[in-house]
């Protein structure tokens, strides 16, 4: 296993840190690990790319080929990236492949939301003195709530104002 990891590109002085983070790699079948590396190489990741990705995201090789393929496909499709751009993205940020997709999906939902809706609501909250987006402070407003709830609920629960007041404010813009 150690020879395999060195072959992948983990240097001698990086093995301890790598294994501390991912001791579960020893429970993986060596042939499966080789297949996963071969899969990445078949997707035109260079050997240096794979080494960098494994160093930055130690659990990368614990993921099955199917799961890696699904993750790559997700980012390519959802972000509308070319194959090369997808590859460049995950080489720079390989934890995108190993981390939870929920924060990514939440951020994407926000970006599919119309920008002016966010701007309108933010300006209204600023006007009311309620634009508070720091989760460590009281009256925190999550980005998700800012964009995903209907105007009635936004006005009542977040802005603490009437829908009529919100619409009057929008006409002033």
Report d(CA 30, CA 37) in Å as an integer. Answer: 11
Please enumerate, as own/partner, the contacts of 103-110 that have beta carbons within 8 Å and a separation of 24 or more: 104/78, 106/143, 106/144, 108/78, 108/79, 109/144, 109/147, 109/148, 110/143, 110/144, 110/147
What residue ranges do the domains of the chain occupy?
Answer: 1-99, 102-171
Per-residue model confidence (pLDDT) at position 124: 98
Per-residue model confidence (pLDDT) at position 79: 87
User: DSSP class of residue 154?
Assistant: I
Evaluate whether 111 touches 100 at the Cβ level (below 8 Å): no
**Tens of pLDDT, residues 70-118:** 999 999 998 889 999 999 999 999 999 999 999 888 888 777 867 788 9
Report d(CA 156, CA 154) in Å as an integer. Answer: 6
Count CA atoms within 13 Å of residue 126 on its CB side: 7
Report d(CA 54, CA 58) in Å as an integer. Answer: 5
pTM value? 0.67
Per-residue model confidence (pLDDT) at position 113: 67
Which residues does the chain have with pLDDT short of 70?
Answer: 113
């Amino acid at each position: 296993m150690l020879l395999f990891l060195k072959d992948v590109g983990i240097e001698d002085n990086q093995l301890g840190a790598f294994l501390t983070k991912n001791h579960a790699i020893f429970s993986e079948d060596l042939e499966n690990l080789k297949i996963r590396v071969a899969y990445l190489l078949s997707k035109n990741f260079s050997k240096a790319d794979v080494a960098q990705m494994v160093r930055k995201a130690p659990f990368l090789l614990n993921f099955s080929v199917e799961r890696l393929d699904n993750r790559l496909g997700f980012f390519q499709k959802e972000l509308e990236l070319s194959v090369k751009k997808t590859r460049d993205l995950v080489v720079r940020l390989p934890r995108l492949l190993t981390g939870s997709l929920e924060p990514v999906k939440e951020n994407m939902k926000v970006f599919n939301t119309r920008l002016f809706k966010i701007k309108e609501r933010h300006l209204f909250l600023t006007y009311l003195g309620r634009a508070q987006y720091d989760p460590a402070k009281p009256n925190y407003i999550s980005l998700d709530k800012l964009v995903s709830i209907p105007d009635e609920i936004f006005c009542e629960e977040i802005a603490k104002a009437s829908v009529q007041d919100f619409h009057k404010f929008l006409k002033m813009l």
